[in-house]
Amino acid sequence: MTFLMLSYPERVEVFRRAFAHDLPDVPFASDATQVDPQSVRYLMTWAFPDNLAERYPNLEIIFSVGAGIDQVDRTSIPPQAKLVRMIESGLTSLMRDYVVMSVLALHRRLPAYLELQRRHEWVNLEFTWADQRRVSVLGLGELGRASLDALKPFGFQLAGWSRSPKNVEGIRSYHGPEGLRTMLAETDILICLLPLTQETRHILNAELFSQLPRGASLVQVGRGGHMDQEALLAALDTGHLEAAFVDVTDPEPLPADHPLWSHPKVILTPHVAAHTRPDTAAEATIANMRLILAGKEPNGLVDPQRGY
């Protein structure tokens, strides 16, 4: 019942030590060439090997080393295997920090002031009090809830949307197509933290942007496939959207000549909003392994029907 981890050597060593200390009875390996493929019951990686079913026919659990699972070719997964996405405190805290940074920067109109600085213009722009600023999150999973909790002390009017009804204390919760339309009309800063599925691909499109009030802003920290980048540029150029923080693009890396690099209303970062932290990820994985070995469902288990 081997646990095979395919990842960076530094990350693997953290996991190796954690398994040796906390789960010594579970064989841990990191070199696929040195293990019997028939013995591999658990596989953790980000870049999943081709033909998983043929390579590891006895796989039971496939762990993604990150929160995303859209990189996985579902057709290659053995029918008996379950997919688990990473839920761990280090990744969550990084995303929370990035979202707070972005929202505060947009709230205080940092992109506009950076452009004024480039033009050597000393101008005081109009501002909005925090309790008058409406901040909404697409996606009320672990990352969305953590981000909303971190924004509460600033006094923003907070809202969140999910596909199905969810009750999150201290925020207005919306769900379904009608709920999305209602929330968008009442949003000044929109944060995308959705999983990428067939239903959410290109959800950030011209139609959605048009439903936001004029002068709204965007924080795109979901997945690159969520956004129609040309639609974002058009909405910024017409002034319908005031500014955007963009951390994920399609493709990645973004081509050097892409207009997002130099657009004065865009702050672009190279997919750095969140990363898996090795020590806390190892703790979370060991906790999941204990659940699995006890016959219980792990945290982060992906529903094949929903896709997340």
3-state secondary structure (DSSP) of residue 244: strand
Reference 67, options 271, 203, 305, 287; nearest CA is 271
19 burial class (0-12, 13-18, 19+ CB within 10 angstroms)?
Answer: buried
Buried b / exposed e over 278-299, threshold 16 CB at 10 Å, is: bebbbbbbbebbeebeeeeebb
Which parts of the chain are beta strand (E)? 2-6, 28-29, 40-45, 61-64, 82-84, 134-138, 157-162, 172-175, 189-192, 216-220, 241-246, 266-268
- Alpha helices by DSSP H, 79-205: 89-107, 110-118, 142-151, 176-185
Q: Using N-to-C axis directions, what is the helix angle for 89-107 and 142-151, rounded to 10°? A: 50
Reference 130, options 156, 103, 95, 112; nearest CA is 156
Positions marked active-site:
223, 271
CA atoms within 13 A on the CB side of 97: 10
3-state secondary structure (DSSP) of residue 170: coil
* Rama region for 214: left / alpha / beta (φ>0; ψ in -120 to 50; rest): beta
